[in-house]
Amino acid sequence: MGQVLSTFARIFANPNFYATVLAVTPPILFAALGCAIAQKANATNMGIEGIMLISSFCGVMASYYIGHTNPWLGLLVSIIVGGILGYLVSFFAFRLKVDIILVGIAMNLLGNGLTAFFLYVFTGDRSTSNSLQSGTLPQISIPGLKDIPVLGQILSGQNILTYIAYILIFVLSFFLFKTKLGLRIRAVGENVNAAESVGISSLKIRTIALIISGMFGGLGGAFMSSVYLSYFTKGIVGGRGFIGLAACSMGGANPIPAALTSILFGFFYALSGFARTTGISDNLVNMWPYIATIVGLVVYSIKQTNDEKKRLAGLNAEEEPKKS
């Protein structure tokens, strides 16, 4: 027991650990932010995992075949493909009126099958496109910051897409809460009749929200194949889309809480990575992020129920004195 504790103490004392937390969080964060904007329009983007997978694959293909392993081209293609897939979700769910959860499930199944199939077609390899390099996006050292001990070690030298991920938290927050379109998205999500009755097209608003959501998925996909790895491998997303979905709902579909929850999950990802090197069984360690998700959802649900109870108690307390 003492030995395990000291192992953890060593991990937590290591600045590299915190740098890793920040480095492994972005795909979850992109997914969570993407889900958040869709959720605000009351359009659950269950298919985020599949969107990430397909856009990641397309990005690698584009960068290898067209861009001579230019990762920037891959990134651009990933974002575009993500946006198109987001549009598809909206088309099926709101124009053809298929249940949006089913569309999401279909998207995830499609993502698995389609990428595995085309991977084989293009490379003749069933699991990785190791032969198709996508190139990696550059890391950035932040002048000034990088020389500060510990903090510099943690914050500087991350990948550019990592920085973009954290910046996007605030961009999305601004978009949702401070712009006209954000206001409309929230109105449609909360009371679609109210929005329609003042002439706002819920179809249009939800389509926009899902396209942006898909683009976030595209960013997450690109991160997997051009930052995390430099090629595509089967099932590369590994449930990060779903974990992002969980983080989004635990954050009440608000960008900042959703981001904090994403970082918490990132923490467990990093921890499992570090613990692996200390001789704790791989199988045990690999479970941690997922266990954290389940525990997180339970805690969130209990909190929600309590808050609701408190709100109702407040309402009734307010009612009583009015009578007397």
**What's the CA gap between 140 and 159, in Å, rounded?**
6
Q: Which residue has the tokens 């290591």?
A: 14
**Reduced to 3 states, what is the DSSP secondary structure of residue 115?**
helix
Nearer to another protein, 1 or 318 (CB): 318
DSSP per position, 71-110: HHHHHHHHHHHHHHHHHHHHIIIIIS---HHHHHHHHHHH
Closest separation in Å from C-beta 199 to another protein: 3
Q: Which is nearer to another protein, 144 or 199 (CB)?
A: 199
Q: Which residues in 160-179 contact another protein (CB under 8 A)?
A: 178-179
Give residues 103-162 in contact with another protein (rule: CB under 8 A): none
SS3 at position 136: coil
Our measurement of the distance from residue 116's CA atom to the centroid of its chain's CA atoms, rounded to an integer in Å, reads 22
**Of 98, 53, 65, 43, nearest in space to 212 by CA:** 43
Nearer to another protein by C-beta: 97 or 178? 178
Closest alpha carbon to 265 in 282, 289, 283: 289
Comparison of 97 and 180: residue with beta carbon closer to another protein: 180
User: What is the DSSP track for 8-71?
Assistant: HHHHHH-HHHHHHHHHHSHHHHHHHHHHHHHHHTT---TTHHHHHHHHHHHHHHHHHHTSSS-H
| Span from 12-20, 45-53, 144-152, 315-323 in contact with another protein (CB under 8 A) | 315-323
Chain positions 179 to 218 lying near another protein, rule: CB under 8 A, are 179-180, 182-184, 186-187, 190-191, 193-200
- How far apart are CB 40 and another protein at their closest, in Å? 10
Q: What dihedral do alpha carbons 117, 123, 129, 130 form, nearest 10°?
A: 160
Structure tokens belonging to residue 258? 């959703």
**Beta carbons of 120 and 131 less than 8 angstroms apart:** no
Query: Applying CB under 8 A, what is the total number of residues that bind another protein?
Result: 24
| Nearer CB in complex with another protein: 84/200 | 200
Residue 212 in tokens: 């942006």
Residue 316 interacts with another protein (CB under 8 A)? yes
Question: Measured from the CB atom, is 194 or 294 closer to another protein?
Answer: 194
State the minimum distance, in angstroms, from the CB of residue 172 to another protein: 13
Task: Determine the interface stretch with another protein among 26-34, 52-60, 154-162, 314-322 (rule: CB under 8 A).
Answer: 314-322
Q: How far is the CB of 253 from another protein (least distance, A)?
A: 11
Closer residue to another protein, CB minimum distance, 43 or 61: 43
Residues at the site binding another protein, with contacts judged by CB under 8 A:
178-180, 182-184, 186-187, 190-191, 193-200, 311-313, 315-316, 319
